[in-house]
Chain A
Amino acid sequence: MIPAKFEYIKASSVGEAIDLLEKHGFDAKIVSGGHSLIPAMKLRLATPEVLIDIRGIAEINTITEEGNELVVGANCTHHELTINPLVKEHVNVLAQAAKCIGDIQVRNRGTLGGSLAHADPASDYPATVLACDATIVVQGKSGSRTIAATDFFQGLFTTALGEDEIITAVRFPKVTKGTYQKFFQSASRFAVVGVAAVKDGDGVKIGVTGVAGVPYRATVAENAYDGGSSCAVHAVDGVDDIMSDHFADEEYRSHLAKVYVKRALEAL
């Protein structure tokens, strides 16, 4: 399987990548790890005419502490997030989610920013960024802006990222305690259900991926939280786009969501 022809350009800075994106518009795609895009190109589901490679841009490959937040560069690979001491200490739930992605080889290439921008409804990070109340930092021609995780995911493979924008970092408020619990699709390793739960004072924040077309915060369950796990019965309350496929139909997926929210709350 060979992709359609394209032009390949290595960008050396975020500014250059944005200039290239503006110049080529819809014909261009950003690539870093490429572990969603390249398979799609080989199947010719994606046929960009220009590929802008941002993998070598060091300025978005850093993990730094800024006050009460951990700022994770978009270029960080899943593997880096599983081993980085700052991530393990301050946003351990992110390290846990990263460890659940694909396999060793995929984790060595795929990136945080790439996964978020791709917005596969079965990917692992959305649950975590939602539960952490993280903000996505993006940069475009008109400058830099931040997007709250709750506003970022808009539909299947659809985000609030503008056409001329790239994700540069994700800002995670430090987490005292968090957990990521996942029911793996046994062949693809994607999440049939993925639940991130994070302590928030006496309360809890719960992010759910894999269940609905758009990853969501299980707010009904959060509001019913009493320190135990009985509120897990509300895991899909108010969610109207529960996915159904040949791995898990709507009823089974809803059931799994409740089971995995319960497990997450019990693991907190």
Chain B
Amino acid sequence: MNISITVNGKIHTHDIEPRVSLAQFLRENLDLTGTHIGCDTSGCGACTVTLDGAAVKSCTVLAVQADGGEITTIEGLANGDEMHPIQAAFKENHGLQCGFCTPGMVMTAVDILKNNPDPTETEIRHGLEGNFCRCTGYHNIVKSIQHAAEQMKG
């Protein structure tokens, strides 16, 4: 069926099967491979993107369900060559080890800070319950989000 989804500010119209996940659509139809598929069972959070401003696991949303919606992926976060403050904070604080979980961590951080601009360390750790880092590099990820929160407060 035909769907029109705005991804990173650009409208994309495609004819797809209803059983295609949003993650698959982003990666295979739009070549936006920054959205990673880890567990493919809504556990790991690597596939997190925002749909109408809210973080979702794109492996568990059908692309047809997102028809008419606005998606931001990791590729759409930066402002041209200028990294988003959360991206910059992950770089600054070495908030990654192998990097596989990073796009999902960053996109979840967008949601955490949208709803709670001044989170405590505990709130950040709870906010990341749906995102797994198999390198176990959580400490610097949390530090990165704390740093980003400070930067974004100005």
Contacts and interface: CB of A to CB of B under 8 A. Distances in A.
Contacts of A246: none
Nearest to B20: A2
Interface residues of A, number: 30
Given A39-B60, A42-B40, A105 B130 contact: yes
Nearest 5 interchain pairs by C-beta: A103-B130, A8-B18, A108-B54, A103-B129, A3-B19
A35 B51 CA distance: 15
B74 to A, nearest CB: 15
B141 interface: no
Contacts, number: 77
Given A104-B55, A104-B129, A34 B60 contact: yes
Interface string B105-149: 000100110010000000000010111000000000000000000
B18 A51 contact: yes
Nearest to B18: A8
B60 A104 contact: no
**Band of interface residues on B:** 20 to 34
Interface string B1-42: 100000000000000011111001000000000000000111
Contacts of A3: 19
B72 interface: no
Contacts of B17: 5
A55 B54 contact: no
A6 B19 CA distance: 7
B2 to A, nearest CB: 12
A51 to B, nearest CB: 7
A169 B75 CA distance: 39
Nearest to A38: B60
A35 B18 contact: no
A108 to B, nearest CB: 4
A109 B18 contact: no
Nearest to B17: A5
Contacts of B40: 1, 42
A189 interface: yes
A64 B145 CA distance: 36
A30 B120 CA distance: 39
Interface string B32-71: 0000000011110100100100111100111011010000
A219 to B, nearest CB: 34
Nearest to B131: A103
26 contacts: A1-B41, A2-B20, A2-B24, A5-B19, A7-B18, A8-B1, A8-B18, A8-B62, A10-B67, A34-B65, A35-B42, A35-B60, A38-B42, A42-B40, A53-B64, A103-B130, A103-B131, A104-B55, A104-B112, A105-B42, A105-B55, A105-B57, A106-B42, A108-B51, A108-B56, A109-B61
A39 B21 CA distance: 11
B19 A105 contact: no
Interface string A60-103: 00000000000000000001000100000000000000000011
Contacts of A6: 18-19
Contacts of B115: 83
Contact of A102 (B20, B64, B108, B130): B130
A38 B62 contact: yes
Given A79-B54, A104-B55, A2 B19 contact: yes
Interface string A1-36: 111111110100000000000000000000100110
B79 to A, nearest CB: 24
Contacts of A4: 19
